[in-house]
Homo-oligomer: A and B are copies of this chain.
Amino acid sequence: MKKYVSLLKGTKLFSGVGDDDILSMLNCLNAAVREYDKGEYAFRQGEYIRDLMILAEGRLHIQKEDYWGNLNILNEIRPGEMFGEAYIAPNSGTLMNDVIAAETSTVLFFDTERILTVCPSACPFHTLLIKNMFYTISDKNKSLVRKLSYMSQRSTREKLLSYLSDEAKRQNSSSFSIPFNRQQLADFLSVDRSAMSGELCKLRDEGLLDFHKSEFTLYEV
């Protein structure tokens, strides 16, 4: 377990917890480790999950196969990321997706019940852990809502405007940079790259905004 302490120190879940305390918490929480070969299924649709997981090494894909067999990669998990938090409620049903190792991967398992049930004296950092876990899920929630607000726009143009407008607000400036290149932005907004590129230029020609690479500036009317 000791080898994972430095990784965990950098995660949101254990932020603010010292090395020694992390180690004692891993015991307190009944943490387990499991390794998956490349291409191996970590979890399958229909399974029950109750633990909370953190990816230690490797890369996982959250995939979904629909009724007619069409495959869809929903998300990629990278080291340090927490997952499974959507299934901790007792009545949350079975897993809706497959989780497959895109590379050989190591996963840490935490007993949710132990996290949420405070041990009265033994573990002084338990309250901090609960808060961290809360903040992490809360943050995830917020970014999901945000993304959903872009995606629910009907046209590429509206998606772009709502995203860029939001970024300007978030960064509190009409000039700002985005963490995507064109292809990544198109993927993020679920639109076609070339169509999006064209739309961006149209918006620029209409005088609504300007850009150079990933630097954008919005203009009033």
Which A residues are closer than 8 A to B by beta carbons? Answer: 45, 64, 66-68, 70, 72, 74, 85-93, 96, 116-118, 120, 127, 130-131, 133-135, 137-142, 144-149, 151-154, 161-162, 164-166, 168-170, 174, 190-192, 208, 218, 220-221
From B127, B135, B137, contact of A141 by CB (8 A) = B137
Which residue, A87, A116, A153, has most C-beta atoms of chain B within 10 A?
A116
B190 x A45 contact (CB < 8 A) = no
| Distance in angstroms between the alpha carbons of A142 and B186 in the assembled complex | 24
Once A66-B161, A161-B68, A169-B45 are accepted as A-B contacts, the answer to whether A127 and B138 lie under 8 Å apart by CB is: no
B144 x A148 contact (CB < 8 A) = yes
Contacts of A135 in B (CB 8 A): 88-92
Which residue, A85, A142, A168, has most C-beta atoms of chain B within 10 A?
A142
Given A86-B145, A89-B138, A148-B148, 14 other A-B residues pairs in contact with their CB atoms under 8 A: A64-B162, A67-B161, A67-B218, A68-B161, A68-B165, A87-B138, A90-B135, A92-B138, A92-B139, A92-B142, A117-B127, A147-B148, A151-B190, A152-B190
B67 x A169 contact (CB < 8 A) = yes
